[in-house]
Amino acid sequence: MDLTFNERETAFRDELRAWLAANDPGPRPEDADEDATFEWMRSWQRTMAADKWAGVHWPEEYGGRGATITESAIFFEELGRARRPLPANVLGIVMGGPTLMVWGTDEQKERFLPHILDASEHWCQGFSEPEAGSDLAALKTRAVKDGDDWVVTGQKVWTSGAQYAKWCMLVARTDMDAPKHKGLTYFLMDMEQEGVQVRPLRQITGSAEFNELFLEGARIPDANVIGGVGNGWKVALTTLMNERSGLAFFLQVRLRQLLDDVIEEAASRGLLDDPVVADKLADLHVKAEILRLTAYRGLTAIEKYGQPGPEGSLTKWLWSDTNQQLTSFAAELFGDWAYTAGNRWAYELMRARGNSIEGGTTEILKNIIAERVLGLPRLK
């Protein structure tokens, strides 16, 4: 593993650092509801897009910078380091756009890609269902052909940002008789129609990041099938493969910052002289460093073999575990104050509970590591 950047990567990082220093979306709206936060992130995405920083890993022909995997990692790391937010349409940029680039027709790319980048059309991911999360291929939402349209009936859940979305990456069952992975089709569904009902789910943090989707006779034109009828599983895998790439760097930097903030707060309260506190902070520091280096090791694997290795599962597991330990420790250390409504540490503590579920649960990640890294017998 070589951790030094080459000349091109260093130039990329320096240009980005200068741009981030000159461009600041201002503080996150205080006590704001999701709507204000979304608008703040959308406006930030527009600023990024104006200078071609919204989709750096996208090819230049689609409005990106053709960044390499390492440059893309640098991008997310620097964004986190500068304490800037992710662009509002992160699902469209990181997952939807790259999926269209692989599987979409020229017309689909032309129609959808520019609006993902310029933040004019927000995207969401309609994969999970009440009885199909880890076992995604068990999904039951049905799409039936009716003339030039498909008519969709079913329910999705956990759909992040659906309340702001114009388009949904929807996987539905189009062949009831085919084996479960084969009867699926990937659609782009217009969210602005009567057959689509979005109901926000309020989390323990108080905010509603995700939603339930009720689909009752929603219509999708045949032109919005991505990658062919019956090919949905493969197209969905492309989306999922893109989910963690690069973002791991953003998350590990955010964890590092959170740890630095805990240390600063603890120091201001004179808590660092307590050997138990110092010991715990040292332990968290070591874990944060392991996470950073493992993320780089994953990057080396992608560069060498062209695809992410099982290190991706290891980083996600380590990140969620460490973030949960860190936020629990912070709340315990700062006492009652940290548990009051509206307190930053209360939010961090409660939001971290979802880390071991979102983007693949810890148990599933452990299965992957057991089977594909350690070579243990496969689950039946």
Ligand X SMILES: Cc1cc2nc3c(=O)[nH]c(=O)nc-3n(C[C@H](O)[C@H](O)[C@H](O)COP(=O)(O)OP(=O)(O)OC[C@H]3O[C@@H](n4cnc5c(N)ncnc54)[C@H](O)[C@@H]3O)c2cc1C
Number of residues in contact with ligand X, rule: CB under 6 A? Answer: 18
The Cα 290–Cα 259 span in angstroms is 14
Taking CB under 6 A as the rule, does residue 233 contact ligand X?
no
CA distances from 297 to 8, 70, 271, 293, 294 (A): 20, 11, 35, 6, 5
Through-space distance between the first and last CA atoms of the chain, rounded to whole angstroms: 35
| Contact pick of 70, 141, 159, 323 for ligand X (by CB under 6 A) | 159
Stretch of 11-19, 37-45, 238-246, 359-367 lying at the interface with ligand X (CB under 6 A): 359-367
Taking CB under 6 A as the rule, does residue 125 contact ligand X?
yes
Provide the residue type at 322 as one letter: T
CB of 317 to ligand X, least distance (A): 11
Task: Tell me how many degrees the CA angle 322-327-330 measures, rounded to the nearest 5.
Answer: 125
> Which residue in 34, 243, 358, 371 is the catalytic one?
243
What phi and psi, each to the nearest 5 degrees, are found at residue 163? -65, -15
- Choose among 14, 34, 63, 27: nearest CA to 205: 34
| Contact pick of 367, 368, 370, 371 for ligand X (by CB under 6 A) | 367
243 is catalytic: yes
Q: Give the contact letters, 32-61, x = binds to ligand X (CB under 6 A), - = no.
A: ------------------------------
Taking CB under 6 A as the rule, does residue 160 contact ligand X?
yes
Taking CB under 6 A as the rule, does residue 358 contact ligand X?
yes
Q: Give the contact letters, 198-227, x = binds to ligand X (CB under 6 A), - = no.
A: -----------xx-----------------
Stretch of 36-44, 124-132, 305-313, 323-331 lying at the interface with ligand X (CB under 6 A): 124-132
Provide the residue type at 257 as one letter: Q
What tokens were used for 110? 């032309």
Stretch of 71-79, 120-128, 187-195, 324-332 lying at the interface with ligand X (CB under 6 A): 120-128
Torsion of CA 283, 286, 291, 297, to 10 degrees: -150
CB of 357 to ligand X, least distance (A): 4
- Choose among 186, 172, 296: nearest CA to 237: 186
CB of 210 to ligand X, least distance (A): 5
- Contact between 368 and 313 (Cβ < 8 Å): yes
Question: Which residues would be at the binding site for ligand X (CB under 6 A)?
Answer: 125, 127-128, 133-134, 158-160, 209-210, 354, 357-358, 361, 363-364, 367, 379
Query: What is the set of active-site residues?
Result: 243
